[in-house]
Amino acid sequence: MFWGNKMKNQGYYHYRIDSPKNFKEKAFSEIWEEWCGPITKRECPHHPYILDYLLSSIEGYRVSEVSNRDISVAATIIQWLGSNAGQQFLEQVNNRIKELE
């Protein structure tokens, strides 16, 4: 997916998803790519893309343009969630959620 004139939504270690052993990273990357497509006006009228929405500090107001670096950093973090370390992080989060329920 391209963000206007922006680069394709890929992290710094996108090459890792080509390895069969990194299938979880691939799944995270592919789903993030799908989520980064245009969102409907009903879902979020002032932000055409999810990353625009996430990086806007004032509800309903677009603070600045999403940079190529913003796109790469977000994609890198999302892909990292599929790595062994990222999976451990998610497991800890899920355990904390259970404690807080």
pLDDT tens string 46-93:
556 778 778 776 666 655 677 888 889 999 999 999 999 999 999 999
| pTM of the shown model | 0.75
Residue 6: predicted pLDDT = 47
Residue 24: predicted pLDDT = 95
Q: Which residues on neighbouring strands pair with residue 43, listed in sequence order? A: none
Query: If we measure between CA atoms, which residue out of 63, 60, 68 comes closest to residue 41?
Result: 60
89/46 Cα distance (integer angstroms)? 32
Average predicted confidence (pLDDT) for the chain: 80
Q: Are 52 and 62 in contact (CB under 8 A)?
A: yes
> At residue 43, what are phi and psi to the nearest 5 degrees?
-70, -40
